Structure 1
């Protein structure tokens, strides 16, 4: 009896404990459920607000901006980060802008209107009207290398997809141009220039644009040693109704036409590249100031397709002064840079030093630190430029070191045949 009574008491007490414990558990569960519900409601409201912000402040402006072909100018308010570029919206208007980490403006990918650019080109150069307008205005214009298409067209060959662009419009494409007018015999240092472009730029194509084929042994060596060099015939352009006194100005004009419509890297034939230009390809345009009096050098120009800087520079040829040798080619871009330093990336020392007034550093001395350069300008006028590999093997000067670096991977004198 005693044992049974004790057992009944224990069972009764345990039932009471379970009842109390169960009540507490239910209250705790209800409390946690309410907290969880409040949290989920808050997250839902946050998600809805965030969605509206994305739609109305990012996606909708981008869609409207790209579809209406907005004019792209520097804005001030950041909308979305894309890594090396930022998409911004101006506080003063509804137009969008793409800006790289140097704050240089450029057109977004695939938004360059090539047909409109063709009209700009014709507005200065009447001979451009004779070019095949389909190359600029058909459905393939935006996605192809226009110089490649012109090459195939001139040679009566089908493209068969061979001219597709291999880079986006937000970088400078690895397309190299040389532009020459008049009878021209290639020299040894010009062969070195083309070899340097092949070696250090690794271009998708090298175009020599001229009104006649270059001549001479070193041109034949270019054709045999550099796969992919393409000659494009171009009749001599005109600059409005002006009489052009210097054929140099014809090349100055056509190089801008090619860069504006196609993008790429223009080189004078006395410009020697000494290392990769890839670090500069994300700039809208890269040039170098020779010095303030001479102006902005145009012997090496890297530019994106549709570059706003190149377009403004080209349009200034409507005010061409035929009696001023440097004005449109060197002074106009210098003055544009002075007005808006952020509109262009400069590599003055690494493009143009040693300068023309420092020629002894190239042609008489051996200690200039040329490996810091991207390129060397060979100041040929009146200077002892190496004229053959035989001379090069024996010459102990900076320019000889540079040439041997390009041709033999070794700037030293000994061991080259």
Structure 2
């Protein structure tokens, strides 16, 4: 099926285009015009003139949602996540593991590989994000301290083998022994290294960045704090132009004034909006599990029994909304922090992340309240909330 999407306005790399039309050819965008387009041949015209069309969002770092979790290690879990995320405007995601026994981590990554081969029904699964067990117990957050481990090259090889080439991001604490050779080995295979759950010094962090680490795990959270005599990992992330910063923009994990500081320190192209969502996302308050830990959600905030934040229940589109409405970030910039920037972080901006000719037709439409009313993944409509199109 060929489509022509006529938008009220469209967020593109060229800016926000009022009255734009997006012409699709199969799974790709063939042309973006700055005016509406009438029917052409057998193409179906979809009128989105009441809405704003955005590139599909990419959640680089999500553990679970709507009762499902990556560590469930089943097709039903990842497909359930995929379907729910598509309804919320996410067209691609990385399934994040959490610290657990090695057998559970291996099972989870093997399932990710199988699900990528089989294909999911909603948002596109891009691969695995390995978070744990190679983290610092002092900043473990919602990771089981008893399951944390030192870096072990044989274990890492086992994870990569089970994943079958599907590990995209590998998180670790840079102060761990042998961190530098591990970073060299991972980046040499094209895997992005993320730094987090860490008490690393400024120097230790900079050495990891210079070695090739390129992502900061949920910046500020699970990190030693900034101090005027030892800026630590936070200071290194803020001061380096070689590392991108993940951000959970819910106002709980990071206060909005601190987000303003982050935006003054980092280029807008180097901020990646994530959710770090866990299985309670989309559901109500109550008792849940995150990996090996029991988690209680109250007022939408997930915490361990010790009081540590345990992921979020954030929708990525609400992170975009918060930046626009709470931090006065221009809409196009906020959108690209949740689409083009994560694509760039993964080295996939040539095919994903923006509304441009030749890219995948991953498109969503929102109303003025940031409600998602339409989602398309690779030229296929997977969510149509309104029937009048």
Q: TM-score with structure 2 length normalisation? A: 0.24
Structure with the bigger RCO (C-alpha within 8 Å, sep 6+) is: 2
Determine which structure has the larger helix proportion and give its number: 1
Higher strand share: 2
Q: Which has the larger radius of gyration?
A: 1
